[in-house]
Homo-oligomer: A and B are copies of this chain.
């Protein structure tokens, strides 16, 4: 970016079944956590603008209209511009992308982004009512359409359920080291393979859970960043790419075109490539998705995602640790919060703050979401190195 944007604060609440907290409570606490993470302190009056990422209004609020007023009510921030962004499972990271553009444009020196989603208060059928009935996806929901891609990948490249299970094993293990993780238990490959079937080839442990959560980032322009921290993490690149929901219009089911394009945009803006990335937080909504993403983000060749993961390269002690936080699979996937929380994890990793799950000597991280029927992708590249 020509005018650099820094992350100067990152905070979140532990993901999970947070029945004791309302939507407003979650937002307020995430904001407070992020503020307390700003090294030199920050006042509410420093905040020039804010963005709220929430995907489902009725689950969190009993109303589809969310609007910026919810963030205002939850945080006390008021009299400033506040926009709600929704972009399916890329909601949180796309809110960050819009906020970063406004900072870059000089419309705000300090911008707050909160992602929040309340998914556990209501029964699953209430949730399903908010996502189904889509003529363009033929009524299918996420497990079914990701499973279609997985089956095609298995057929074309010989990808196996065992390779997918490796993702669950790794991310559950990472999750046990993360105090913010919804799940804090390990799973072994046998349990993953023997779990009740959801949609072939996915069993229960191939799927990410429904989770409550909220996360917050404080962004600052290059002009003011040093008044908040001596150790900023720079938003070096952002990208988003979108195609229609309609899966019958895809060329094939072997790649997520939006991921490839969004990554290309973010790498280009950053002046960096896959080889420069030290740590990744990416969208493992299903175990297979992580294999696919590794290919589409440029970390291995097309068709080699299964082998790449099975090689151990993406474990905490591997060459390219992926989802050290536990990922969507173990940390959880409270939709609006997910992308924001992924960037929180990267910021903490790059600042060497995460203890047991620390990736050594990481300077550059990549965040990735994949949304809808693999129709929307959002990628963010962050680095301690400014240029």
Q: DSSP class of A's interface residues: helix, strand, loop or mixed?
A: mixed
Which chain B residue shows the least CB distance to A75?
A: B244
Q: Tell me whether B130 and A63 are in contact (CB under 8 A).
A: yes
Per the 8 Å Cβ criterion, residues 93-151 of A in contact with B are 94, 97-98, 101-102, 104-107, 130-134, 136
Question: How does the 8 Å CB contact mask read for A237-272 relative to B, with 1 for contact and 0 for none?
Answer: 011111111100000000001100110010000000
What are some 22 contacts across the A-B interface (CB < 8 A)?
A49-B240, A56-B65, A62-B133, A62-B134, A63-B131, A65-B372, A67-B87, A67-B88, A67-B371, A71-B242, A72-B244, A80-B240, A80-B242, A81-B97, A81-B242, A82-B242, A83-B87, A83-B240, A85-B85, A85-B86, A101-B102, A105-B105
4 additional contacts, CB 8 Å, given A62-B132, A66-B86, A101-B107?
A64-B130, A69-B373, A83-B87, A85-B86
Query: Known contacts A134-B61, A244-B73, A245-B73; is A375 also within 8 Å of B87 by CB?
Result: no
Q: Tell me whether A79 and B241 are in contact (CB under 8 A).
A: yes
A177 at the interface (CB under 8 A from B): no
Per the 8 Å Cβ criterion, residues 151-181 of A in contact with B are none
A351 at the interface (CB under 8 A from B): no
A273 at the interface (CB under 8 A from B): no
Per the 8 Å Cβ criterion, residues 210-256 of A in contact with B are 238-246
Q: In the complex, what residues of B have CB within 8 A of residue A63's CB? A: 130-134
A84 at the interface (CB under 8 A from B): yes
A199 at the interface (CB under 8 A from B): no
Which A residues have a C-beta under 8 Å from some C-beta of B?
1-3, 49, 55-58, 61-73, 78-88, 90, 94, 97-98, 101-102, 104-107, 130-134, 136, 238-246, 257-258, 261-262, 265, 371-373, 375-376
Q: Tell me whether B87 and A68 are in contact (CB under 8 A).
A: yes
Contact of A72 among B73, B80, B243 (CB under 8 A): B243
Minimum C-beta distance from A52 to chain B (A): 9
Q: Tell me whether A78 and B131 are in contact (CB under 8 A).
A: no
Minimum C-beta distance from A235 to chain B (A): 12
Q: How far is the CA of A133 from the CA of B82 in the complex (A)?
A: 22
Minimum C-beta distance from A86 to chain B (A): 5
Which chain B residue shows the least CB distance to A78?
A: B243
Q: In the complex, what residues of B have CB within 8 A of residue A239's CB? A: 81
Minimum C-beta distance from A108 to chain B (A): 9
Q: How far is the CA of A104 from the CA of B130 in the complex (A)?
A: 35
Q: In the complex, what residues of B have CB within 8 A of residue A376's CB? A: 67-69, 82
Query: Known contacts A69-B244, A242-B72; is A85 also within 8 Å of B88 by CB?
Result: no
Query: Known contacts A101-B101, A102-B98, A130-B58; is A67 also within 8 Å of B86 by CB?
Result: yes
